[in-house]
Amino acid sequence: MFPRSNKVPVLISNFFSVLGNQGRRLAFGALCVLAASVVQAERIKDIASVQGVRANQLIGYGLVVGLDGSGDQVRQTPFTQQSLTNMLSQLGVTVPQGTNMQVKNVAAVIVTARLPAFAQPGQTVDVVVSSMGNAKSLRGGTLLMTPMKGANGQVYAIAQGNLLVGGAGASSGGSSVQVNQLNGGIISNGAIIERSVPTTYVRDGIINLELNTTDFGAAQNMVAALNTRFGARTASALDGRVVQLRGPLDPAAQAAFLSQVENLQVNLPPARAKVVINARTGSVVMNRTVTIDEAAIAYGNLSVVISQDDRVSQPDTPFAGGETVVTQSTQIEMTSEKGGLQRVRTSANLADVVKALNALGATPQDLLSILQNLKSAGALRADLEII
């Protein structure tokens, strides 16, 4: 970060004073270009998408075979045995009714995939395979032919292939070691598309662009950039999220038009200040527009310790007919660490915010409460989202 200096305005003033009118105009133009170069610009394809161009979810149920004794225990997962019997029946193998198959190399799985927009029959997509029984590992398994259905119940792809499991594990003598997850894996290009989904994104030359986040300023800047590039009234903002385009009526020219639209640069206004807190992991993420006002903070830890001891009470005379009784003695101790008021100075940028919060010396868990209290007190200039 460059140090601030009060001499800069004087130097610039002296610089302009020695130039003529033409020199001043050239220097001013150069400064304008330099200032414009620091404006944040993004491609439209990075901040918006074409309405109607979307992926679809697929799901299927299948069997994974070839496991090294780490499959489902069929007594505890009867659906695995039922599925295996049905599959063998379709292949012409008849299993006598009432047969209790004790197989350890088969596992019932759920298969999921995403069908991308414009996908055509014959193309392939990746699939994710997850165990739904009590299999110990899917490592080394092969997924058998599994129909992949959409939300309407129709089959859009067929999945089959060898699984790639990222985890590893070993066990012996009651001890086991495991790294990462063994009950799930992927099959790269494991599903072949059998049916396409019609994608409609143009109606009478009208195309809608949807911003990834609602921002009226970004929508207006996008409209201005599109109208400057393609002519007035080409684009208009319907709201803070949707920008409507008037594209060519010729279907052959629509793809080329959208290609130019997606690569157009748009200057974005500063993002809305936001702080995201994950209460489960204690992580805090904030963007660069977060600021805080001056405030005073006091925090401390309150700990409660509960201890319980068992005591045996015996009668004084063993022959008096008394009984031995076990009693419980409970002690509760509360301790509170002292925490004085600490001043948090006004911070105008992200670096100052981080420096001010780090100066408190608070733990991540304490920081969660501090940020919530700063928001309640009106000192945190940002939206607070807890996930």
The residue behind tokens 């080329």 is 256
Q: How confident is the model at residue 35 (pLDDT cuts 50, 70, 90)?
A: very low
In the structure, what pLDDT confidence band is assigned to residue 176 with cuts at 50, 70 and 90?
A: low
By mean pLDDT, which of 18-32, 58-72, 132-146, 196-210 is the weakest?
A: 18-32
Place of tokens 């990222």: 166
Q: What is the pLDDT of residues 51-100, one digit of tens each?
A: 999 999 999 999 999 998 888 888 888 898 889 988 998 899 888 887 77
pLDDT exceeds cutoff 50 at 40: yes
- Identify which has the larger pLDDT, 291 or 195: 195
Say yes or no to pLDDT of 181 above 80: no
Task: Check if the beta carbon of residue 126 is closer than 8 Å to that of residue 189.
Answer: yes
Count the helix, strand and coil residues of the chain and give each as a percent rounded to the nearest 5: 25, 35, 40
| pLDDT for the residue 223 | 96
Give me the pLDDT at residue 55, please. Answer: 95
User: 301 or 90: whose pLDDT is higher?
Assistant: 90
Identify the burial level of 230 via C-beta atoms within 10 angstroms of its C-beta, where 0-12 means exposed, 13-18 middle and 19 or more buried: middle
**Which residues in the chain are classed under CATH 3.30.1360?**
202-267
pLDDT, residue 362, reads 74
CA atoms 33, 35, 36, 41: torsion sign: positive
**What is the per-residue pLDDT for 360?**
72
359: confidence class by pLDDT, cuts 50, 70, 90: confident
Supply angle C-alpha 377, 269, 244, rounded to 5.
120
Pairing mode, strands 302-313 and 342-344: unpaired
pTM strictly above 0.75: no
Query: Could you tell me which residue, 22 or 252, shows the higher pLDDT?
Result: 252
Is the pLDDT assigned to residue 363 strictly greater than 90? no
Q: What pLDDT does residue 316 have?
A: 62
Average pLDDT of every residue of the chain: 80
Distance CA 323, CA 21 (A): 111
For residues 40-51, average pLDDT: 92
CATH of the structural domain 202-267, one choice from 3.30.1360, 3.40.50, 3.40.190, 3.30.70? 3.30.1360
